[in-house]
Amino acid sequence: MYKRVRVVLDNGDVFEGVLIPPTQFSDPDIVVLKLKNGYNVGLKNGRIKEVIELGEVPEAFKAEGPRGERAGGGKIALLATGGTILSRVDYVTGGVYPTLSVDYLFEVLGGLEAEVEAEEVMAKFSEDMTPALWGVLAERVADAFRRGAKGVVVLHGTDTMHYTAAALAFAFAKAPGPIALVGAQRSSDRPSTDAVLNIKAAMAVAARAPFAESVVVMHKTSGDSAIAVHRGTRVRKMHTSRRDAFQSINATPIAEYYPEKDLLQVNTSEYKERDGLEYTSKFEERVALVKFYPGMHPRLLEAMLDVGIRGVVLEGTGFGHVGEYLLPSIKKLVDAGVVVAMTSQTLYGRVNLFVYRRGRELLSLGVVPLEDMLPEAAYAKMSWALANFKQEEVPRVLATPVAYDISPRSDPLTFGAL
């Protein structure tokens, strides 16, 4: 039961607000209040002189109704993996910690798009995700579809959400509905949180979108006017803290959601339609993503043989180049059966190994050019391909578009359209 209280400190300061229940990460010596302006404040017990109860919190503060007030045939599966969207601020350390509970999210959001079946899959900050955990998540997504979900929403930390989105895009050749990954740049107990609108947009995508693809659903602008729906293989986090940190690269968002109109606008007629269920949950962990830099030591590449790496995605310069001094090391990798592929660290544009001599030298060594595929998507695709195809088939699979990961041409209008 939420209580509104007035707290008087030993120095005479007075704070009035809603008493926030503690989490498993809370310091028992700290009392947290949500103030009228929406901000939270932490008060040390030892400084509290008096606490005056002002009554129960008005009903509007609490989540009401069933988990989904607009159920219209079918349900949405909500799979929680952790991240800022399921976190609260610890006012002792100033750090953000996962709550491990989707119940808290429903407390914040109230009624949602459709009937929701919520499940806590794991509690991980996104930097702790691995290819093995992509496989676990893929299985849980498939289970949700088998139980009749019309769409799946995955709550995920933002820092590596684009890796997971790409992995799921390759994992699901067919799906009965969208797989919408969603996160937050600010935790859900902050007044500036983006969690509420992002989640509601993801629910709208899962329930209404005609496509059945892995997508990332996040703010399109720093304001609340629009939410962008990015293809999982074409999206990247481009800012550490802005609410519109995620951008489609070498592409435009597949859809947009406008909260004020409750409108989901699909921007293309080219997409994977809702279909049956065909997927894999196998990913190879012995894969590396390596950024070339001037003066890079050749032994860094050769050392990958010592740990059994089976595939390497290089982030080359410009059209996809590396220093001449790395060519012998790359040859050693290829000769040992390691699949080596090339992307560009410029992100925009595409790899072309036919323009300069260095590119042709890389081709002659057996390096696979990956056109305009993003490095993170290439890493996920390498992991997926090595786990599901014979080694000799992997170069062909990498160079073949599977989930809109390679576009037939570069659209100049997508550059600089942030």
User: Contact at 8 Å (CB) between 225 and 201?
Assistant: no
The structure tokens 């109109």 sit at 261
Q: Are 311 and 287 in contact (CB under 8 A)?
A: yes
Residue 213 Cα distances to 88, 140, 175, 254, 293, angstroms: 30, 16, 8, 10, 34
The rounded radius of gyration (Å) of the Cα atoms in the chain is 24
DSSP string, 217-264: EEESSSSSS-EEEEETTSEEE--SS-TT-EEESSS--SEEEETTTTEE
Q: Which of 84, 99, 193, 343 is catalytic?
A: 84
Is 84 noted as a catalytic residue in this protein? yes
Measured N-to-C along each axis, helices 161-171 and 131-146 cross at an angle, to the nearest 10 degrees, of 60
The residue from 81, 158, 164, 343 that is catalytic is 158
237 assigned to active site: yes
Selected catalytic residue, list 34, 150, 220, 237: 237
Residue 37 tokens read as 């302006």
Spatial distance between the Cα atoms of 272 and 288, rounded to a whole number of angstroms: 29
Structure tokens at 123: 């509690």
Catalytic residue among 34, 75, 159, 189: 159
Tell me, yes or no, if 158 is annotated catalytic. Answer: yes
**Which among 200, 192, 202 has a CA at the least distance from the CA of 165?**
202
**What number of helices (H) and strands (E) belong to the chain?**
9, 23
Residue positions annotated with a catalytic role? 84, 158-159, 237
